[in-house]
Structure 1
Amino acid sequence: MKKTWWKESVVYQIYPRSFMDSNGDGIGDLPGILSKLDYLKDLGIDVIWLCPIYQSPNDDNGYDISDYYEIMSEFGAMEDFDRLLHEVHARGMKLIMDLVVNHTSDEHAWFIESRSSKDHPKRDYYIWRPAAKDGGVPNNWESFFSGSTWQYDEATGEYYLHLFSKKQPDLNWENPEVVADVHKMMKWWLDKGIDGFRVDAINHIGKADGFPDDPHPEDKSHNTGYRLFANLPKVHEQLQKLNREVFSRYDIMTVGETSGIGPREALLYVDENRDEMNMVFQFEHMSIDSGDGGKWDVQPWSLPDLKQIMSKWQTELYGKGWNALYFNNHDQPRAVSRFGDDQTYWAESAKLLATFLHTLCGTPYVYQGEEIGMTNVAFDSIDSYQDLESLNFYKEKVSEGADLAQVLKRIHDKGRDNARTPMQWNDGPQAGFTTGEPWIQLNTNYMDINVEQQLLDPDSIFNYYKKLIQLRKQYEVFVYGDYQLILEDHPEIYAYVRTFENETLLVILNFFGRTPTFQLPDCLHIEAPELLISNYAVAADREIQEITLQPYEARVYRLPTNPSSANEGES
């Protein structure tokens, strides 16, 4: 397996609007991020990932870019970015940018020109189609943000395609001029000195020829049309060209957002012999609590299902491609509320999830606030929500006459604003995030959950993350070890062995609030294990043949050289 810096790194994702406000306007900004770099360095972070900071009208919080070469004025100026990049590098960290090239804002100069006339040279920068024979939309594809993917434009009497918001028209990657302009822009940022890109919705840049109807609109496992605008072969043709002409010329980290794939499809993106991307974000584990009705159809999840999904990704990519490890990001609910217990066992379950994430093979991503156990928020009224996806969902359900209390409950559980409430720095006014009125309401639990308190507590979630990150830097087995699942069918305990060269780890995780007994499998013969980390006080020399685990208990042992191997699935 090739060793490289981006495999050995821990990444910290910043949602700039909500991280730290320096000027009191209620919106996080680049000088605010700069003021917290020492905090991130202390945590042990290697790479900072910034969500979009480009000029944008903010229809989708910066994921609708109107100028790739300018900084959103709310965040600062290009001088602020240059200073931030310099200071990140001065601390031995790296910085990657979030980039959206599946679509732009409808306020981008390209689109303004494209919609101005059917004959304009930039008309073909976007995807335009006449009405269907019946006078309606060109096909039955559904947007990720509800409704049709097609928006009628009166100026030229045609429809343009938007997989997301109607203010996010899709670029036409079939046009060589679009590709050349995107490549040029990416080189501009890389020449400025950034260390790579997280590329948003990259698996959608290729669409089916002819834009046919989806023949199975009744299948709600995906949006209608999804199979016709996701993970098509032409996506890989474009990524190989992008790698050949741009990525390969720099020592950078690249990660793509790719929904709807399994490990086999992922290897088309990340196989080290295919020269496309370093890693991708997969979503299979993020759908584990979704029913047939999709993300808003919240259902109980099971640990055997999680084991099956994560084990598949760990084993099928090992030695071929690389995993991106995450439970939280700007689009997902807070993990401690979703997969843990954010009430009775808040700290224990937050530490358990951290242990799980940082003891798998792949690059761990920490989302802002995760390291202090920030939780979901439940606003009383839809008027307090800002997220376009949630607002569209609510509007759609209102029109259907749904029980609005139930609709709001689904948004409480799965809405993206859960991840976007301001970072909780202290228990002072506005949690230390701003001296003004924040752009979105705070989670009221900032009095009890905040950075300042956790820095002072040696047993805090923050200090637990810090120790995990240190261990990952100390022992290569955390990064490069293979993965062997044990106790495959246990409904409450997730346990596995990691082995690399002469190092072996045993990871034991009790994912629930009960007290099951861990039995060491007969195939593992262990003497004198070394306890590296645990989220409960444990005697270091304690026998591990049989352990009654505490609620949400996590332990990681370093085993003597060359213990007998476990076979995956052995119980």
Structure 2
Amino acid sequence: MGYDISDYMDIDGRYGSLIDVDELIAQLKKRDMKLMMDLVVNHTSDQRGWYFWKKGKIDTDGKRLPPNNWCRILDTTKSAWQWDEETQEYYLSLFSPEQPDLNWDNPNVRAAVHDILRFWLNRGVCGFRMDVIDHISKVQSFPDADRTIPGQYCQPGNAYYANGPRLHEFLHEMKAVLDEYDTITVGEMPFVNDEDEIIRTVGMQGSLNMIFLFKILNMDNEPGQSKWSYHEWDATDMKRIHDQTQRLMIERGGWNAIFTENHDGPRSISRFADDSDQWRDFAAKMLCTKSITLGGTEYIYQGQELGMRNIPSDWSIDEYKDVESQSYWRATPMQWSAAPNAGFSKSHVKPWMRVNDDYPNVNVVRQLADPDSVLSYWKRCLKFRREHKEVFIYGGFEILDPEDKDVVAFRRFSEHESFVTVTNFTGKHLKWSGLGEIKIKEWVIGNYELESHNESPGKIVKLRPWEGIIGRS
């Protein structure tokens, strides 16, 4: 799926060429836009060197065993070590056998990564999303992991391969290169949870501008289990996470990356709300209402702005093409239009993945022409966010009614303005009384009409199913 890179200074011919990248950057610049690239340097294609090689162990029966019991990240039943007949050694490959992990303790590896950074920055790229960047430093003794999955030899070893002893040294070396340019960086760091470690990474002395924290995306996972396990949740869980992450960055000088979808998880409307035909648009707009009023930098995953939902459960697993999807479900190609294959490719070319069957109704072209569409609502809300950036991007944060299990509400405020966001995470009509002493001057944005709210403002807010509203206070 493109994460086993063999040449970091070229483009796979199936996607175009370096000339196409230059044209893309030039056209983006004309539109006052910039291009961030995905930097995948924890692992490379198996066509390169500079990896972790170990002889392995022999058990009491004389059977050959991997160097330790770490399992793969994408398949916990298999060892993270791959046997190589030619060298008669194992190499570490946390994700798949075709993606061996680079040994960042080798200075030649780090020098090569720095060359990659300069190559793309010199072409006009503005920065990087750094793939699993918290994995680049491993504990060099490679100890066995604790047994947390019963009944099998292989175990998650993230305590030893994530947030390792030299991580910040390596990140600061990269930052020294990046500081030669005007750049932006966001790190994918799925195993960073400690507040001190977060601020060490994205605080005033940190090496990255922001990181993707997976607290919301892990909210409905069974504690201690994989992301495919399910744990019941309610609005109190979401509020607790927002309260922690928002206040952490405000109080300690860090910065948030705001996101509710990515390529590794379900669609947010299917996961956190209601993707039925009856409530789909309302639920998608409600999620947008909450997202655009959180502090930090907003990230929107392709199709989220359309209200794209999970694909039907009756599809065969054969429709899923990437490594992880052979065991679990994932997302679909972008639905651009009602043309064959949703405009993702020409009609005579089969897309790499099947397009969701709802694409004739849910696509960019149709929603651009509809002022009431999810896409139009996202555009309106993002414009409102920019107009009041001192509040929504940089302002203070206060959770309202933290014990309510159905409503996620909070106040955002600056020296000159104050707004309240109220979102109903149920399909029920509710009467919410969590404003306390706050008085709403006017409800200004919502995914339903606002007349009924503004005609009789008061301490009781009547919320319709999956409603999201923003009020000036």
1:129 corresponds in structure 2 to 54
Q: Is the 8 A contact 2:146 2:155 kept in 1?
A: no
Show the 5 A alignment for 1:333-412.
Answer: 333-343=266-276, 344-378=278-312, 380-391=315-326, 393=327, 411=328
For 2:137, which of 188, 192, 206 is the aligned residue?
A: 206
For 2:93, which of 162, 171, 178 is the aligned residue?
A: 162
Q: Which runs of 5+ in 2 are unaligned?
A: none
* CA distance in structure 1 between the aligned counterparts of 2:325 and 2:213, rounded to whole angstroms: 22
Identity of aligned residues (%): 40
TM-score under structure 2 length normalisation? 0.93
Amino acid aligned to 2:55: P
> How many residues of Structure 1 are paired with residues of Structure 2 in the alignment?
455
1:500 corresponds in structure 2 to 414
For 1:464, which of 377, 401, 426 is the aligned residue?
A: 377
2:33 corresponds in structure 1 to 93
1:543 aligns with 2:457: yes
Amino acid aligned to 1:328: E
Name the CA shift for 1:389/1:91 in 2 (closer, same or farther; >3 Å).
same
Amino acid aligned to 1:176: P
2:445 corresponds in structure 1 to 533
Name the CA shift for 1:223/1:91 in 2 (closer, same or farther; >3 Å).
farther
1:423 corresponds in structure 2 to 334
1:514 corresponds in structure 2 to 428
TM-score under structure 1 length normalisation? 0.77
Amino acid aligned to 2:385: R
Amino acid aligned to 1:128: W
Name the CA shift for 1:511/1:217 in 2 (closer, same or farther; >3 Å).
closer
Amino acid aligned to 1:429: P
Q: Is the 8 A contact 2:147 2:155 kept in 1?
A: no
CA RMSD of aligned residues (A): 1.7
Show the 5 A alignment for 1:445-464.
Answer: 445-464=358-377
1:322 aligns with 2:234: no
* CA distance in structure 2 between the aligned counterparts of 1:556 and 1:193, rounded to whole angstroms: 38
* CA distance in structure 2 between the aligned counterparts of 1:369 and 1:541, rounded to whole angstroms: 35
Name the CA shift for 1:284/1:478 in 2 (closer, same or farther; >3 Å).
same
Cα deviation 1:427-453 (Å, max 9, x = unaligned): 232222222221111100112211222
Show the 5 A alignment for 1:262-301.
Answer: 262=193, 263-274=195-206, 276-291=207-222, 292-301=224-233
Query: 1:285 aligns to what SS in structure 2?
Result: coil
Amino acid aligned to 1:133: I
1:69 corresponds in structure 2 to 9
* CA distance in structure 1 between the aligned counterparts of 2:393 and 2:44, rounded to whole angstroms: 36
Q: CA deviation at 1:384?
A: 1.5
Show the 5 A alignment for 1:425-440.
Answer: 425-435=336-346, 436-440=349-353
* CA distance in structure 2 between the aligned counterparts of 1:260 and 1:131, rounded to whole angstroms: 27
Show the 5 A alignment for 1:107-146.
Answer: 107=47, 110-111=48-49, 125-134=50-59, 135-146=64-75
* CA distance in structure 1 between the aligned counterparts of 2:335 and 2:161, rounded to whole angstroms: 39
* CA distance in structure 1 between the aligned counterparts of 2:386 and 2:156, rounded to whole angstroms: 44
Q: Is the 8 A contact 1:195 1:253 kept in 2?
A: yes
* CA distance in structure 1 between the aligned counterparts of 2:6 and 2:186, rounded to whole angstroms: 23
For 1:230, which of 131, 143, 162 is the aligned residue?
A: 162
Name the CA shift for 1:346/1:224 in 2 (closer, same or farther; >3 Å).
same
* CA distance in structure 1 between the aligned counterparts of 2:66 and 2:339, rounded to whole angstroms: 52
Q: CA deviation at 1:383?
A: 1.5
Q: Larger helix proportion, structure 1 or 2?
A: 1
1:16 corresponds in structure 2 to none
Q: CA deviation at 1:268?
A: 1.8
1:105 corresponds in structure 2 to 45
Q: CA deviation at 1:219?
A: 7.9
* CA distance in structure 2 between the aligned counterparts of 1:78 and 1:390, rounded to whole angstroms: 30
* CA distance in structure 1 between the aligned counterparts of 2:21 and 2:318, rounded to whole angstroms: 33
Q: CA deviation at 1:283?
A: 1.0
* CA distance in structure 2 between the aligned counterparts of 1:372 and 1:194, rounded to whole angstroms: 27
